[in-house]
Chain A
Amino acid sequence: MPAADGRGRRFFHDPPETEAPMSAFPNRGLNLALRILGATLGGYALCWAIFELLCAWLPFERATVWYLTGQLAPLPFLGVLLWAFITPSAARALYAPLLLAAVIGLPGWLR
């Protein structure tokens, strides 16, 4: 890959080359599987939890809330998918979104 020019964004490109921290799952297949699982299950759970929260807490009429959540649907999935592959630990890719979903979803679900 050619080096970044002077104005290039340093965040992603500049050396020093840091090795990815040794993952707890050196088996690449398992690493990948965990991340994919995290992206799918975690993304779905988080989106569901956010929707439940919004539906329970937003003070608007039903149809308004429904059509609002609909417009936001891609965002939790996108966020979790990116997170699942950039987080250094594959285990975190799986448990973090599920944990977040549980934390968010609980108040909404209890109501």
Chain B
Amino acid sequence: MNALGKALLGLHAWGGMIFGWLLVPIFVAGSIAVFEPEISHWMRPEVNSAPFSPSTATALGEARLREVGGAAPIWRLRLPNGREPSIGIAWGSNPRALKEETLDAASGWPLAPRKTEGGHFFTHFHAELLLESPGKWIVGAIGIVLLAALVSGILVHHRIFSDFFTFRPGATRRRAWLDVHNLVGVATLPFLLMITYTGVVILAEAFMPAATHALYDGKPRANRAEVVKSFERPARGEPAEMLPLTTHLAAAEEILGAGAVTMLTIRHAGDRNALVQAHRQVNDRLSAVADHVTFDAVTGELFGQQLDWNPMAYAYRAMVGLHVVRFGGAALHWLYFVSGLLGAAMMAAGIVLFLRKRRQRHGADRAQRVLEAMGIASVGGGLLACAALFWANRLIPATLAGREQVEIYVFFAVWALSLAHALWRGTAAWCEQFLLAGILCLLLPVLDLATGNGLRDAIRLAVDLTAVLLGGLLVVVALRFFGPARLPAGEVAP
């Protein structure tokens, strides 16, 4: 290999392995985050999955808002849908900090679900490593390194076309691992390039604000204000009776489509200048933009609407949409879920490859043990921590104050323990951690049955079944790929 190829391989291998330590958990969390609403539902077993209708839900939500919303300038009503079968209401004066409540979709009763980050934990970890602004810089940098690893990987792949379908599980362990790494990488290449590029685009708004500085004097979200039309007016001070929200819902559905309204926002409820804004769903288009329409709350006449968008903003939001995959229904969600896990597996295989190669060259020296431990903690530990979060969610008492923080502590505690375990046990930890993670997943339905308040519904069942499938897969991987079986003489596990 010439110098250029060597340099690219060095960047690919070292960059890939070191940044892979965070990339594998980010990919696993991202895959799980595809099902954020379903997992949040699983993690709040107090919420019933009742049959609902948009108009009934609107009426029930309005009734409750009148009780608790009082004179708050902003009321918000999230209608139930197939993925979130409850009514969400909120009220307050700061749109970014509203008081919230969850209502049963059929009866309108306020529910008191346990405090938990729910599925949003995985989204938050995936996008920012729970760190807000510095996290966006870190994950952005990691994404850029992944893009470079993908490009360099393509360039140094010796036989990318002739080895397209090649997988030789019976060859030497190293050949087999390289085949897995290459095969899975090439098969998912379009997905990986797209998801990484769009991910960096999303984060770049935070870590590369040059355009905001040049065009808007550094004012954040000024670009959004220019593109999303705002239809607001101050309160007049005169009390007036609003038309029922169901009337506004029907009027909104005329314009946005039947069943397409996801959220109603009421401003200055009870005032003569009150407005009702209806937002449209985003799950039937690629671009993550929500058309919206606003009515005068008292007379019902149209106050403003936005059904068209700046084409460049639409294209940008299509990139966002491609990443967050709210579109396409179950088929696309499962596709992204599987592809993301395959990407994580590809990177894990790369880490294993690097460690094997280095071990053959340098033996089991101190650095090797540390690198092995980091790799095991990243892959096995990451999986363990995710599984542990589900267990923590059900085992921590529902009424404990601050329990959402405790769940997160458990996640990181398990992860830290896995690093300690890997440092102690060496390469045997691969099998042990995968086995433990697999068992935790396999037993999830038992946990759900035991702690689920008897409210088994389709969404929670789907989560349980997926966990069983993944658990079985992890156990198989643990025993077949990392297990102490069938090693040709001189071969080192894994």
Contacts and interface: CB of A to CB of B under 8 A. Distances in A.
Interface of A is mostly: helix
Contacts of A70: 201, 204-205, 211, 316
A19 B205 CA distance: 42
B5 A12 contact: yes
Q: What secondary structure prevails in chain B residues at the interface with A?
A: helix
Given A8-B158, A78-B144, A69 B2 contact: no
Contacts of A86: 4, 7-8, 11
A74 to B, nearest CB: 4
B316 A20 contact: no
A19 B21 CA distance: 31
B56 interface: no
Interface residues of A, number: 48
Interface stretch (B146-154, B428-436, B462-470): B146-154
Contacts of B162: 5, 7
Contact of B313 (A19, A55, A67, A77): A67
B226 A12 contact: no
Interface string A49-92: 00110111000111111111111011001100110011010000
Contacts of B143: 74
Interface in A2-28: 2, 4-5, 7-8, 11-15, 17-21
A69 B214 CA distance: 11
Contacts of A77: 144, 200
Interface string B149-170: 0011001101101100000000
Given A8-B159, A63-B310, A69-B210, A19 B148 contact: no
A95 interface: no
Contact of B210 (A8, A51, A61, A64): A51
A1 interface: yes
Nearest to B155: A12
Contact of B204 (A4, A54, A74): A74
Contacts of A43: 144
A32 to B, nearest CB: 9
Interface string B432-464: 000000000000000000000000000000000
27 contacts: A4-B159, A7-B162, A12-B155, A13-B2, A17-B1, A47-B208, A51-B210, A55-B211, A62-B215, A64-B313, A65-B211, A65-B215, A66-B212, A68-B312, A70-B211, A71-B319, A74-B143, A74-B200, A78-B147, A78-B148, A81-B11, A81-B145, A82-B11, A82-B151, A85-B11, A86-B8, A86-B11
